[in-house]
Structure 1
Amino acid sequence: MKPIIGLALSNRVKSKKAYSVINNDYIKAVQKAGGTPILIPFSDNIENIKVYIDKIQGIIFTGGEDISPLFYNEEPRKEVQCIIEERDKFELELFKEVYIKNIPILGICRGLQLINIALGGNLYQDIKFQIPNSYGHAPRQTLRSNLYHSVKIEKSSRLFDIFKTEDLKVNSFHHQSVKKLGENLKISAVSNDNIVEGIESTNDKFLVAVQWHPENLIENHPEFLKLFQTFIYMAGKELA
């Protein structure tokens, strides 16, 4: 039996209607790595979380809009342009429940930031204006399937165990990053300008999060499938 993997959804508004959406590359990555994806739309009914948790063996917190700085006790800078408060509330509660139940967790881009906030950390709201001498991290004209900058992976990390290298080229589409690290987390990867690019749990939980978008890379750079394969292998242990 294939492990069931929850994928957190975002919203988009078009023609004055709201749609639950996800980049199809997440779905393809989970399927290619051996999992069965189910989609988790956010809801103002927190009781729905229990229904999903009873069905999934792993969860991916996906990318998307900024998380409201109010959730880490800051006022928003003008560079924070798009937030969905309902998604923030739902996913913070969802994370708390899967974390308590030791369900394997993979965070991608916004997902990394959500995990850090949920565990008591905070963010640089805008890299360009808050971190002097930072490099590019949010190109507007680059294909999501293209590599953009390098990251350095800590040798004593799950990420190193997965990729077997200390130097990895990745794509990049984020203007925020970890400032204060949350509890029970360690940094597993940084860019050459010392922006946090990967975090993971300090204990036995499978909790790995990256700031780049591996789901967009697996077709042209199949080594990134290893991250999903390892995550889904760990989720499969829930079925044993």
Structure 2
Amino acid sequence: MIKEALQYLIGLGNTRTEEVGGQILSTQPMHVIDEPTCKAIVVHSLSGLVQYLKSEFDGSQTLMIHVEDPTTVNVLTNFTRDRKRNLLVQAKAMIPEFRCDKWYGAEDFNIKPQSVFVTNAHRDDMLKVVGNIKDENVATFGDDGVSQQVTAKTGVATVGSVKVPNPVKLAPYRTFVEVRQPESNFVFRMRSGPECALFESDGGAWKVEAMDTVQQYLQKELDEQIEAGTIVLIA
């Protein structure tokens, strides 16, 4: 055992390194110390991200902006010595809570779209029905899986059957507030209780639209840096 240890130590003394194809190769195993990385700054708005980039607080190095998803934008460096990228800044959108596929009581549902959805005609039509339901029974006659009817106020003192609007085009707050919120189709359903729910029906196409909108915002705000080649923007 002592002999093998001595031979190993002698071998270490004869270690030779060469650069081949941009990589450092060694005749002996080498202990590689990873280059230290900084902790990313987290901001919660696109304007905060733009302010950081325009300040050049960490120098004028070339950076990549990656729009990862509708609520996340990352600012990355070039490859480091050990072929990794540093995450300098991350923008995370603060999104109000609303769950699709979840049944809400009529009162809760009446409040949610008013606080977490952009105002449009379809939202208002839906709220008129929800806000005027008269009893706890949702009629199922004529329900073909798309259209429903409920008993609701139809005038100052009258009660009648009204058709539940469906599908509805709505724009929940799902990305950064500085950009336009994407509209998409939802299936609006009601059941006894009364309870209401929304179900996404666009296959996630809104996510692509939201990312494109975020990219356009950053392209406009950082046009000079992008033209100069100090920032690369991808989505």
TM bucket by the smaller chain? under 0.3
Greater fraction of residues in strand: 2
TM-score (norm 1): 0.19
TM-score (norm 2): 0.19
Rg (Cα) greater in structure: 2
